[in-house]
């Protein structure tokens, strides 16, 4: 019999949640992946129920995660893309039921909770991974290529930003102050920035952070700066903000031989939200006008942005289910990133760097 996760025997995927993450990212990526089948989606919202029926007619619609996981034997993989406070309980229930699990970032609100999930997955011998999709942004893939081929020389400073101009808080769980909700830009955008920095340059020895609440009526951090000193000597300066009236470069990477500077976000989120699907012509391809540059002052040239590849995440998930490779993101990486988040919170509270 073919293994679960093969095109001949697709893994039955339960998508827990159909908000922006479920609708724009997970559902279309799952549906486009050979070896995976979107079997069920949870949502109570009538408009979203209708949307699932129209876009994924083969998927059942269930009201909530508890109802869905009561029939866990009908599925092989659970994807948790619900509000942050529910990540741990839903992932725990799915693992205990024998399912493989994908959890949207952040894996948990605290590193200790994330560690417990990783340990549970080990005991149950079930795959657990975290949807750090921005490891497959075109700009990051480009930077990894430039580092690998020596174009930058020895990297000295890594500057990375996810900035927005949202001067009024939106209604929703990301704006709630209860620590269990893991709200604020440090958890939301900072989780990506920290993950990318650790992926590129390894663990930090020191963390310094500034976390501010700038917008009237906001209850959680909406402007964050995190500085990491990596064990190898690279310094990462990371900005996450909802209050940036002027958005800085997405990446500015300074090396001993050259610098790479890139403005603008990866195109995949906008494409997916606009209805473009993996496999469509132009998916993940950035227009030449948006390419970054490499060089030194007075001597710079455009450098082509690698094609963005969010589909690679679920291709690797399917391979892991077949026993043909590791999960795309080691959950231990998510634990390490949460330790940095917690160190940043301590640093911001004291005004001093925190050693790790």
Other C-beta atoms closer than 10 Å to the C-beta of 178 total: 12
Apex CA 344: angle with CA 333 and CA 254, to 5°?
Answer: 75
Q: Is the pLDDT at 318 greater than 80, yes or no? A: yes
- Number of domains forming the structure of the chain: 2
Q: Are residues 36 and 101 in the same domain?
A: yes
Has residue 116 been placed in a domain? yes
Q: Are residues 274 and 346 in the same domain?
A: yes
| Dist CA 78 CA 62 (whole Å) | 13
Apex CA 178: angle with CA 173 and CA 182, to 5°?
Answer: 60
Instruction: State pLDDT tens for residues 50-91.
Output: 999 999 999 999 999 999 999 999 999 999 999 999 999 999
Q: Which residues form the domain of 126?
A: 11-131
Q: Are residues 87 and 21 in the same domain?
A: yes
Has residue 3 been placed in a domain? no
Q: Are residues 147 and 212 in the same domain?
A: yes
Q: How much is the pLDDT for 74?
A: 97
Instruction: State pLDDT tens for residues 148-157.
Output: 999 999 999 9
Q: Which two tokens stand for residue 129?
A: 């991974």
Has residue 315 been placed in a domain? no
Q: Are residues 195 and 113 in the same domain?
A: no
Q: Are residues 100 and 139 in the same domain?
A: no
Q: Is the pLDDT at 215 greater than 80, yes or no? A: yes
Q: Is the pLDDT at 183 greater than 80, yes or no? A: yes
Q: Are residues 36 and 183 in the same domain?
A: no
Mean pLDDT, rounded, of the chain? 96
Q: How much is the pLDDT for 173?
A: 77
* CATH of residue 230: 3.30.360.10
Q: Are residues 150 and 115 in the same domain?
A: no
Q: Are residues 171 and 290 in the same domain?
A: yes
Distances (CA, A) of 327 to 101, 203, 220, 288, 320: 10, 20, 33, 33, 5
Q: Are residues 124 and 265 in the same domain?
A: no
**Domain end marker among 76, 96, 131:** 131
Q: Are residues 199 and 172 in the same domain?
A: yes
Q: Are residues 150 and 33 in the same domain?
A: no
Q: How much is the pLDDT for 295?
A: 98
Percent residues over pLDDT 70 in the chain = 100
C-alpha 180: how far from chain center: 19
Has residue 322 been placed in a domain? no
Q: Is the pLDDT at 281 greater than 80, yes or no? A: yes
Percent residues over pLDDT 90 in the chain = 95
Q: How much is the pLDDT for 178?
A: 84
Q: What is the mean pLDDT of residues 313-336?
A: 98
Instruction: State pLDDT tens for residues 92-137.
Output: 999 999 999 999 999 999 999 999 999 999 999 999 999 999 999 9
Q: What are phi and psi of 54, to 5 degrees?
A: -75, -40
* CATH of residue 72: 3.40.50.720
Instruction: State pLDDT tens for residues 252-271.
Output: 999 999 999 999 999 999 99
Has residue 215 been placed in a domain? yes
Q: How much is the pLDDT for 1?
A: 86
The label of the residue with tokens 């890594």 reads 158
């Amino acid at each position: 019999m073919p293994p679960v996760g093969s095109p001949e025997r697709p893994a039955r995927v339960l998508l827990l949640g159909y908000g922006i993450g479920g609708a724009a990212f997970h559902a279309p990526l799952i549906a486009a992946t050979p070896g995976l089948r979107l079997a069920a989606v949870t949502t109570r919202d009538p408009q979203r129920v209708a949307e699932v029926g129209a876009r994924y007619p083969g998927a059942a619609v269930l009201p909530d995660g508890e109802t869905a996981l009561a029939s866990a034997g009908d599925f092989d993989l659970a994807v948790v893309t619900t509000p942050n406070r529910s990540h741990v309980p839903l992932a725990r229930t799915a693992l205990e039921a024998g399912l493989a699990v994908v959890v949207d970032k952040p894996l948990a609100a605290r590193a200790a909770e994330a560690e417990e999930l990783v340990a549970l997955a080990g005991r149950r011998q079930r795959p657990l991974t975290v949807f750090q999709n921005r490891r497959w942004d075109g700009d990051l893939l480009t930077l990894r290529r430039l580092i690998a081929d020596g174009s930058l020389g020895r990297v000295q400073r890594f500057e990375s930003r996810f900035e927005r101009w949202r001067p009024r808080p939106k209604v929703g769980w990301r704006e709630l102050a209860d620590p269990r909700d893991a709200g604020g830009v440090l958890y939301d955008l900072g989780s990506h920035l920290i993950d990318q920095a650790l992926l590129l340059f390894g663990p930090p020895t020191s963390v310094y952070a500034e976390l501010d609440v700038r917008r009237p009526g906001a209850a959680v951090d909406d402007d964050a700066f995190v500085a990491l000193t990596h064990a190898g000597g690279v310094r990462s300066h990371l900005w996450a903000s909802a209050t940036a009236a002027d958005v800085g470069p997405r990446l500015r990477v300074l090396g001993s031989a050259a610098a790479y500077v890139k403005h603008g976000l990866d195109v995949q989120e906008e494409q997916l939200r606009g209805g473009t699907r993996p496999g469509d012509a132009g998916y993940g391809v950035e227009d030449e006008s948006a390419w970054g540059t490499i060089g030194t002052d007075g001597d710079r040239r455009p450098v082509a942005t690698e094609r963005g590849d969010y589909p690679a995440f679920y291709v690797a998930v399917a391979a892991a289910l077949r026993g043909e490779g590791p999960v795309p993101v080691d959950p231990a990486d998510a634990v390490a990133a949460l330790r940095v988040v917690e160190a940043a919170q301590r640093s911001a509270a004291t005004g001093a760097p925190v050693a790790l």
